Amino acid sequence: MFIKKLMMVLLIASMGQTAEKLKIGLVLDKGGKEDKSFNSAAYQGASLAEKDLGIELKYVEATDVNSIENLHRQFAKKKFDLVIGIGFAQQDAVKKVAAQNPNTKFVIVDGEVTAANVRSLMFEEHQGSFVVGYLAAMKSKTKKVGYIGGMDIPLIRRFAVGYEAGVKHFDKSFTVLENYIGITADSWNNPAKAKELALNQFQQGADIIFVAAGASNSGVFDAAEEKKKLAIGVDSNQNWMKPGFILTSMLKRVDQGVYATIKDLKDGKFTSGIVRYGLKDKGIDYAMDKHNEKLVSGEDIKKLEKIKIEIIEGKIKVPDFYLMKKK
């Protein structure tokens, strides 16, 4: 295994000698690069790499489930060096196309594919959700907090389960209200419905809502501003969207992962296998900046950092929906 890896590294290194620009293809999920959240993060990472590393970037958005495989094929056919698939929906397509194009490198975010030319980037969302859940519980006055997910699917459940565990870790008597926006792909882009749900949760007594729903998030932020309550953003740092009403954002540094992978390829250090990002390497984190510094005091941060360390050291076991499901 080690020799194989070494050979591949050498091979790529020798290929990197040529002065030609690396061609990177980015296949975004249906949310599109303007979702200010998950896909935005991926796009930012890739475009930063374009600026810094002098690569050639081409991005596309999938129109439907069947078109994803088509897009990966087109990139491979055009001899792109690296094709990045964003989102769990692309797992099967990457698996299939990577097997047929052994000379093209692939990256899949949020999905696991084992092949010699595929790197899988996985994020430990449940850990971050636990931390923001703990923060929400600390800040809640009503002992009731809310969670709004885009769609009732395993990934979004993973956020919910981690979040709830974080809240309960602070105090078992807390209640967590849980709602999902919809049942179709529209759910990721339906701020109106998100706002409705948020207002409803506020009315039921929740005073902080964690939302994981792509471009629908803005609806929850609107509701928080209207009712003078708090919301927690997700994936990208969304604190700036409604300063003063967004307690923090749970960061899922897809941008970091994408950037690092492109850099690895450029430096000839691309390896296949699964790369996990978690609290440990700040691939998962919570966002602190000038927009929310008044909401979260230094003392709170100290407590959160302690929780983080306990999770990293394994003293706190955060329930993982993916593993729960396998039982």
- Which chain residues interact with another protein by CB under 8 A? 25, 30, 58-67, 70-71, 73-75, 78, 88-89, 91-92, 100, 110-111, 151-155, 183-185, 322, 325-326
**Which one, 125 or 222, has the nearer CB to another protein?**
125
**Which one, 302 or 325, has the nearer CB to another protein?**
325
Please give the single-letter amino acid code of residue 244: G
**Which one, 78 or 317, has the nearer CB to another protein?**
78
**Which one, 89 or 137, has the nearer CB to another protein?**
89
Q: CB 25: neighbour CB atoms within 10 A?
A: 24
**Which one, 116 or 185, has the nearer CB to another protein?**
185
| Least distance (Å) between residue 96 CB and another protein | 8
| Least distance (Å) between residue 91 CB and another protein | 7
DSSP run (H or E) holding 252: strand 246-252
| Least distance (Å) between residue 67 CB and another protein | 5
**Which one, 111 or 128, has the nearer CB to another protein?**
111
| Least distance (Å) between residue 33 CB and another protein | 11
| Least distance (Å) between residue 323 CB and another protein | 12
d(CA 294, CA 324): 37
**Which one, 194 or 208, has the nearer CB to another protein?**
194
DSSP run (H or E) holding 27: strand 23-28
Q: Which phi-psi region, left, alpha or beta, contains residue 57 (left: φ > 0; alpha: ψ -120 to 50)? A: beta
CA distances from 303 to 145, 210, 296, 299 (A): 19, 19, 11, 6
| Least distance (Å) between residue 23 CB and another protein | 11
| Least distance (Å) between residue 60 CB and another protein | 4
**Which one, 188 or 245, has the nearer CB to another protein?**
188
List the strands of the sheet with 208-212, edge to edge: 175-182, 144-151, 208-212, 230-235, 246-252, 284-286
In the structure encoding, which two tokens stand for residue 314, read together? 């394994």
Please report where in the chains the tokens 């604190």 appear, as a residue: 239
| Least distance (Å) between residue 269 CB and another protein | 27
CB 286 within 8 A of CB 253: no
CA distances from 126 to 196, 241, 311 (A): 26, 24, 11
List the strands of the sheet with 105-109, edge to edge: 56-61, 23-28, 82-86, 105-109, 118-123, 273-277
d(CA 139, CA 122): 30
Which one, of 250, 310, 253, lies nearest residue 277 by Cα?
Answer: 253
- Apex 251 CA angle, 249 and 256, nearest 5: 150
For 8, counting Cβ atoms within 10 Å of its Cβ (0-12 exposed, 13-18 middle, 19+ buried), the class is middle
| Least distance (Å) between residue 302 CB and another protein | 35
**Which one, 23 or 227, has the nearer CB to another protein?**
23
